[in-house]
Structures are given as structure tokens and as C-alpha cells.
């Protein structure tokens, strides 16, 4: 009979070191955008430093608490996820959106963003569901269960006007279904649904009175971002994108140097932090950051491929894809290759929720890498060898 055992010797120190280095670099970049080079130690910089240090602790906890034990609570995890999203909707609007739950711990105030936590909650929940029903993954009821349980948090996130988080949640679901070996007939059906939907969307945004705006599935600012991406008009409408691209390209090959960003970038600590990296470290520095992210993604996929447990493979693969998807989208937005969706850069952009979620994700991946199937015959073999000696 096989069981699971943990092998601490299999801890991936390379993955751990790269994540810590990227988070530390992110803290430095937050400092750069908030005037650290001029001696200004801003509250945002201090907050991000605290978030990163706490995040390391979260990573280690998630790495050494059996992930299968965590996954046993997949239903309570899902319920907590939905409850937090609903509470966020009841909170006062911040800049026209309701995404944060205010928290005060010993005078240290910060906001928890439930839509960020949805990413790891749904990875655990969907991985457990698909692992449990892997032999019936093509049953219409199982597919419906996955789609239905994903639709609820996606709908709540859309109501919070967070397009990026809702897209990432859908990506997590699609990755899980694909890794669960869903039948190609479902993929074909999905394609037949998506293509007409995209055509309808393109036609609708050109309509005099867009239907999606009228029914509230899109907000005015989201519509404007897409329209101005397709048809740049200059002025305030494209100012954020123009400054982001100007900063990204201003660094040329080697960059202007740390704390030397000449362009005033809007949302420099979050949505457009890669533009600041490009300005200060140039093309070489930007490629180096992308390379580090690529190695992190590949290490996650390597751990997934080596995992002897299906649940672990699902979790590690989903984490790898989320990091890759968010990083690629963030860079593409900063280069004005995609419309601005407010996609943060994993481990680098400001925010405690994002930092903690991605640290927890890496902790789970390290956990998967240290978990091995163990058979009672292993000990019998070791005893036999010892006796022979």
C-alpha cells in the first residue's frame, strides 16, 4: 500500500532563491518610484518591505504543511472565497471600485483584496475537484460542476470591476480542465462558443449603444480602454499608455540607472512598474527580469512533471501558468501591445494581497516537489539490505 511522505532534501533552493530575489528587487523598485533615491522612505516602500517579509513566512508555511491536508478543506476554502468577495462588494468604493477589505493590525493599516486570493483558493478547490473526479472528467455533470463553481467567483469579481482577476480565474479553470484531460469535444464546443462571442464583442463595441454597456457587463472605463487601444486618439485617453511606453523605451540598451526614471508614469508601483524597470535598467535589465520569471515558471513545470501525485501536478502546473500569464500580460500592456487591464507583475508590483498570494503559490509548488509516494516495501527493502550487510 502506498502513502505520501515528505522529503525535505528535495526542497528546490533555486526556485526559492529566485522568488526571494525577485521580491527583493520589487521592493527596491517600489522604493525607486516613491523617491528612495532622494532619501524619501515612503510608507508605500515600508509597507511593501513588510509585505515581502511576511510573504516569505507564508511561503515557508505553505511549503511545509502537507498540501493534501490543505486540499481536504477545499469546500470551506471555496465558501470563504465567496464570502470574502461578497464582503468586498459591501465595502465603500475606492476610486470607483469595491475590491478591498480594510484591515488594521496594531496600527498597521492595509487593504486585503479578495479577488487576488481567489487565484490560490480556486487553484486548490479546482485541483481537488478534478483530482476527485479525474476518471469522470468528461461527464457532463462534472464539467458543469467545474464551470458553475468557477462562474460564481468570476461574476462577483466582475461586479468589483476587476477584469484582470476575472480573466486569470477563467485561465485557472481552463488549465485545470486541460490537465485533467478533458475530451476534445468539449474543447471544440468551447471554441464554437468563444469565436462567435469575440465577433459579437467586436461588433458591439462599434455599436452606437453597446449592449454590454447597457446591461452592465462592461463599465465605461473598461470600454474606453479597449476603444483607445484599438483607435488611439492621444490626450488624456491614452496618457497612461503613452507615458508607460515612453518610460519603457527611454532606457535604451543599458538603462539610465537606478532611481533615474525621467518619465512621470501613471500607476508606476503597480500596473506600469515594468516601464520603470525598462527606464532604469534598459533592454538588458528588462530581459533579465523576464528571464528570471521564465526560469521560475520552468522550475514550477519541472516540479509538476516530476510529481507522482496527480493533485500536486495540477497545482504546480496551474501556478506556473498563472505566473507566466500575468507576467506576459503585464509586459505586453506596458509595451502597449494589449489594452490596459490593470494586471500586476507577480512579486514585483505593489500590494500585500498579490505578494502573499504568489508567495503562497510558490510554497505549494515547493510542497509538491518535496512530496513522494512511499510504499511499505521500501522499508522492507532497506531492512533486507541492512541485514545482508
The three cell numbers of residue 304 are 509538476
The backbone torsions φ and ψ at residue 232, rounded to the nearest 5 degrees and listed phi first, read -60, 130
Cα atoms in the Cβ-side hemisphere of radius 13 Å centred on 72: 6
Q: Give Cα 330 distance to the centre of its chain.
A: 11
Q: 236, 262, 234: which is closest to 247 by C-alpha?
A: 262
Q: 98, 86, 84, 95: which is closest to 161 by C-alpha?
A: 98
Q: 283, 271, 278: which is closest to 345 by C-alpha?
A: 271
The single residue listed with the C-alpha cell 460542476 is 145
Per-position DSSP letters for 31-70, written without gaps between them: HHHTTGGGT---HHHHHHHHHHHHHHHHHHHHHHS-HHHH
The neighbour count for residue 60, using CB atoms within 10 Å, is 14
Q: For the chain, what percentages of helix, strand and coil (3-state, to nearest 5) are there? A: 70, 5, 25
What is the chain's pLDDT, residue by residue, as a tens digit (389 residues)?
455 666 777 899 999 999 999 999 999 999 999 888 788 888 899 999 999 999 999 999 999 999 999 999 999 999 999 999 999 888 876 555 557 787 666 666 667 899 999 999 999 999 999 999 999 999 999 999 999 999 999 999 988 888 889 999 999 999 999 999 999 899 898 888 889 988 998 898 888 888 888 887 777 877 888 888 888 876 666 788 888 899 999 999 999 998 887 778 888 899 999 999 999 999 999 999 999 999 999 999 999 999 989 999 999 999 999 999 999 999 999 999 998 888 999 999 999 999 999 999 999 999 999 987 655 545 554 444 445 55
The backbone torsions φ and ψ at residue 5, rounded to the nearest 5 degrees and listed phi first, read -130, 155
Q: State which H helix or E strand residue 101 sits in.
A: strand 101-105
Q: Are 347 and 23 in contact (CB under 8 A)?
A: yes
State how far the Cα of 19 lies from the Cα of 365, in Å rounded to an integer. 12
The single residue listed with the C-alpha cell 510529481 is 307
Amino acid at each position: 500500500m502506498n502513502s505520501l511522505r515528505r522529503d525535505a532534501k528535495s526542497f528546490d533552493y533555486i526556485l526559492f532563491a529566485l522568488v526571494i530575489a525577485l521580491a527583493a528587487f520589487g521592493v527596491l523598485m517600489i522604493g525607486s518610484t516613491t523617491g528612495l533615491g532622494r532619501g524619501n522612505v515612503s510608507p508605500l516602500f515600508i509597507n511593501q518591505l513588510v509585505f515581502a517579509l511576511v510573504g516569505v513566512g507564508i511561503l515557508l508555511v505553505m511549503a511545509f504543511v502537507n498540501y493534501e491536508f490543505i486540499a481536504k478543506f477545499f469546500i470551506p476554502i471555496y465558501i470563504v472565497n465567496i464570502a470574502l468577495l461578497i464582503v468586498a462588494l459591501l465595502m465603500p468604493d475606492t476610486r470607483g471600485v469595491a475590491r478591498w477589505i480594510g484591515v488594521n493590525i496594531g496600527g498597521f493599516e492595509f487593504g486585503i483584496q479578495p479577488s487576488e486570493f481567489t487565484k490560490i483558493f480556486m487553484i486548490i478547490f479546482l485541483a481537488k475537484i478534478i483530482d476527485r473526479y479525474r476518471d469522470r472528467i468528461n461527464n457532463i455533470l462534472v464539467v458543469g460542476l467545474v464551470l458553475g463553481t468557477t462562474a460564481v467567483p468570476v461574476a462577483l469579481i466582475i461586479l468589483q470591476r476587476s477584469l484582470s482577476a476575472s480573466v486569470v480565474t477563467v485561465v485557472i479553470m481552463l488549465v485545470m480542465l486541460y490537465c485533467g484531460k478533458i475530451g476534445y469535444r468539449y474543447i471544440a464546443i468551447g471554441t464554437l462558443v468563444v469565436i462567435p462571442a469575440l465577433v459579437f464583442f467586436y461588433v458591439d463595441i462599434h455599436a452606437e449603444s453597446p449592449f454590454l454597456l447597457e446591461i452592465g457587463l462592461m463599465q465605461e472605463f473598461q470600454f474606453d480602454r479597449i476603444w483607445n487601444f484599438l483607435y488611439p486618439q492621444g490626450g488624456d485617453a491614452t496618457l497612461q499608455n503613452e507615458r508607460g511606453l515612453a518610460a519603457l523605451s527611454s532606457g535604451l540598451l543599458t538603462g539610465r540607472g537606478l532611481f533615474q526614471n525621467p518619465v512621470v508614469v501613471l500607476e508606476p508601483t503597480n500596473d506600469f512598474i515594468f516601464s520603470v524597470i525598462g527606464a532604469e535598467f534598459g533592454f538588458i535589465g528588462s530581459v533579465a527580469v523576464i528571464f528570471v520569471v521564465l526560469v521560475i515558471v520552468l522550475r514550477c513545470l519541472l516540479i509538476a512533471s516530476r510529481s507522482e501525485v496527480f493533485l500536486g501536478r495540477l497545482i504546480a502546473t496551474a501556478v506556473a501558468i498563472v505566473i507566466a500569464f500575468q507576467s506576459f500580460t503585464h509586459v505586453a500592456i506596458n509595451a502597449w501591445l494589449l489594452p490596459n487591464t490593470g494586471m500586476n507583475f507577480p512579486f514585483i508590483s505593489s500590494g500585500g494581497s498579490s505578494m502573499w498570494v504568489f508567495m503562497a503559490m510558490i510554497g505549494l509548488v515547493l510542497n509538491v516537489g518535496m512530496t513522494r509516494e512511499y510504499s511499505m516495501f521500501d522499508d522492507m527493502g532497506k531492512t533486507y539490505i541492512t541485514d545482508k550487510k
